[in-house]
Amino acid sequence: MQRALGFVLGATRASTRVKRTDECRRRRVVLTRFPDCWSRALTRRPGRSTLVSTEFVRRSVLVDRLRNNRARILEHRFACQMTSEGGSATSVLEAPPEAYSCGPLEFLRRSVVQVLASEFGEATLHNTDPMVTFASRPEFGDFQCNVAMSLARVVRCKPREVAERLRAGLEPRVAGMCSTPLEVAGPGFVNFRLCDDYVASLVQRMMRDPRGKLNIPEPAVLQRIVVDFSSPNIAKEMHVGHLRSTIIGDTLCRVLEYLGHSVIRLNHVGDWGTQFGMLIAYLREVAPESLSGERPPELGDLVMFYKRAKQRFDEDPVFQDTARAQVTKLQSGDEESLRAWRLLCDLSRREFEKIYDLLDVHLTERGESFYNAYLPEVIDRLEKQGLAQLDQGALCVFLEGFMNRDGTPQPLIVRKRDGGYMYSTTDLAAILYRVREDGAQAHSVCDGCGTSDAFRAGFPGRAASWFFRPIQSDA
Ligand SMILES: NC(=[NH2+])NCCC[C@H](N)C(=O)O
């Protein structure tokens, strides 16, 4: 799968580089860029608020770019068709078959590793990353290899010399795929330019694929994959971290779905926890009509109420007690509290939906509250397996390699002293449910905003192996 993904993105990025030049028209290849780069650019807006309102999304370049991106993929199919019909390319030299089956990037990586091994010996390499990347500027070609600079120290040669030996070894291997002679530039970069015939032929193979799958190899195993993304918090506005996660998650899902996997798109919204006790207690005091449903607040008002409630909570110990009592009431199923909570969730959901609609992103909401019923079972399993231990009244799991700054083991609290559960506990319950009930075989959490310590500590993979069979996970 990864190879296929690398291939798609590889082809995509490489071709974007030539887009601005005349070559593009000559090659008749119009491809698109992975949206990740501009979602990241968005996150970096200096000195501005990072909150994301519907209006922000509507007016931003984002929607247009997404549409354009998706439109360009269609355009690309059309362009491929033109190329295949035009079919003028007759090549003198055929690129090696592997250059077609695994795509240019992977093929170059493998070739660099082979040449380095034969030039400098396997032992010297010791898992050396071949450092083949997309060219950093169009004038450098399509790909570049940066390994000479770092390897020079190990093999005690000048970087340029390493690069020269690499070039000489690579040229016969990449003939027909890259134009030769290859270029050694600057301190020791090796630059690669794909031959037109190779690109044309790649594109033709994509178009002629009888499955209509752009010649991307079918994954060896088709899996049921959970992708957890977006996950904004109720009663708060989305921020760019959520937007980033939304776009990356949706992109990942589209690729996986395209490959034929069965994908479960989950929105793990923050809809549970102390903030609701605080907010409901505060609203009951200052704006009871908003809770009865007579005059429901706007999301913007809710954000303001939330801030005030938080301030009140931080300053007033009596209010803290009221808020805590309110959480307990809510979590123990008090009807009136649940009604208020549902109202707040509905309100936020409607706002989030507007953004998802604009972006044409579809997700199934399954928030933190959903896993409430499974929390005791998580604790029970951890205890039964001897993985949790009491530490100053709190139930903790100590994970190998999960340390405080001072080197002492960092506890991962799964149940607080007062019996309350943690965000991590919910994440564990989510894994339990996704593996057992959803039958997930692979799991990906698109973290654009901050997952729990449990995820950061690589807990999902470990948890799943404790609870069940091995599971792939990348937080
Ligand atoms: N499964 C997860 N923990 N997903 C990430 C949740 C992110 C959380 N709602 C936040 O905004 O910080």
Out of 266, 268, 421, 444, give the residue to mutate to test ligand 1, the one with the largest number of ligand atoms within 8 Å of its CB.
Answer: 268
Q: What is the CATH number of domain 97-194?
A: 3.30.1360.70
Out of 271, 447, 451, give the residue to mutate to test ligand 1, the one with the largest number of ligand atoms within 8 Å of its CB.
Answer: 451
Ligand 1 geometric centre to CA of 288 (Å) = 29
Burial class of residue 448 in the structure, from the number of CB atoms within 10 Å of its CB (0-12 exposed, 13-18 middle, 19+ buried)? buried
Determine the atom of ligand 1 nearest the C-alpha atom of 447. Answer: 5
Ligand 1 geometric centre to CA of 224 (Å) = 22
| Terminal-residue alpha carbon distance, the chain | 18
Ligand 1 geometric centre to CA of 452 (Å) = 7
From first to last of the 475 residues of the chain, give the pLDDT tens digit: 333 333 333 333 333 333 334 443 443 333 333 344 444 444 444 444 566 667 766 766 666 666 666 666 555 555 544 444 444 444 457 889 899 888 899 999 999 999 999 998 887 777 788 999 988 888 888 999 999 999 998 888 999 999 999 999 999 999 999 999 999 999 999 999 999 888 888 888 888 888 888 888 888 899 999 999 999 998 888 888 898 889 888 988 998 898 899 999 999 999 987 788 999 999 999 888 888 777 777 777 888 888 899 999 999 999 999 998 998 888 888 998 998 899 889 988 998 999 999 999 999 999 999 999 999 999 998 888 888 899 999 999 887 777 788 888 888 888 989 888 888 889 889 988 998 899 888 878 876 655 555 555 556 556 656 555 444 444 3
Nearest CA to ligand 1 atom 11: 232
Distance CA 411, CA 396 (A): 6
Ligand 1 geometric centre to CA of 236 (Å) = 13
Determine the atom of ligand 1 nearest the C-alpha atom of 239. Answer: 11
Distance CA 316, CA 389 (A): 34
pLDDT recorded at residue 70: 65
Token reading at 188: 């020791």
Ligand 1 geometric centre to CA of 269 (Å) = 7
pLDDT recorded at residue 419: 84
Ligand 1 geometric centre to CA of 356 (Å) = 17
Ligand 1 geometric centre to CA of 77 (Å) = 36
Nearest CA to ligand 1 atom 12: 450
Nearest CA to ligand 1 atom 4: 451
Out of 231, 264, 452, give the residue to mutate to test ligand 1, the one with the largest number of ligand atoms within 8 Å of its CB.
Answer: 231
Q: List ligand 1's pocket residues with C-beta within 6 A.
A: 228, 231, 233, 268, 270, 427, 445, 449-452, 455
Ligand 1 geometric centre to CA of 270 (Å) = 7
Class of the 274-467 domain?
alpha beta
Out of 228, 449, 453, give the residue to mutate to test ligand 1, the one with the largest number of ligand atoms within 8 Å of its CB.
Answer: 449
The domain ranges of the chain are 2-92, 97-194, 274-467
- Half-sphere exposure in the Cβ direction for 26 (13 Å, CA): 10
Determine the atom of ligand 1 nearest the C-alpha atom of 430. Answer: 1
Q: What is the DSSP string of 189-207?
A: EEEE-B-HHHHHHHHHHHH
Ligand 1 geometric centre to CA of 223 (Å) = 24
Ligand 1 geometric centre to CA of 79 (Å) = 40
Distance CA 464, CA 15 (A): 40
Ligand 1 geometric centre to CA of 219 (Å) = 30
Nearest CA to ligand 1 atom 5: 451
Token reading at 309: 């409630």
pLDDT recorded at residue 458: 58
Ligand 1 geometric centre to CA of 423 (Å) = 9
Helix (H, G, I), strand (E, B) or coil at 213: coil
Interface confidence (ipTM) of the complex: 0.97
Determine the atom of ligand 1 nearest the C-alpha atom of 270. Answer: 9
Ligand 1 geometric centre to CA of 145 (Å) = 37
Distance CA 335, CA 146 (A): 63
Residue of 310, 410, 301, 409 whose CA lies nearest to 351:
301
Nearest CA to ligand 1 atom 2: 451
Q: Order of strands, edge to edge, in the sheet holding 394-403?
A: 388-391, 394-403, 409-415
Determine the atom of ligand 1 nearest the C-alpha atom of 242. Answer: 11
The structure's pTM equals 0.71
Nearest CA to ligand 1 atom 3: 451
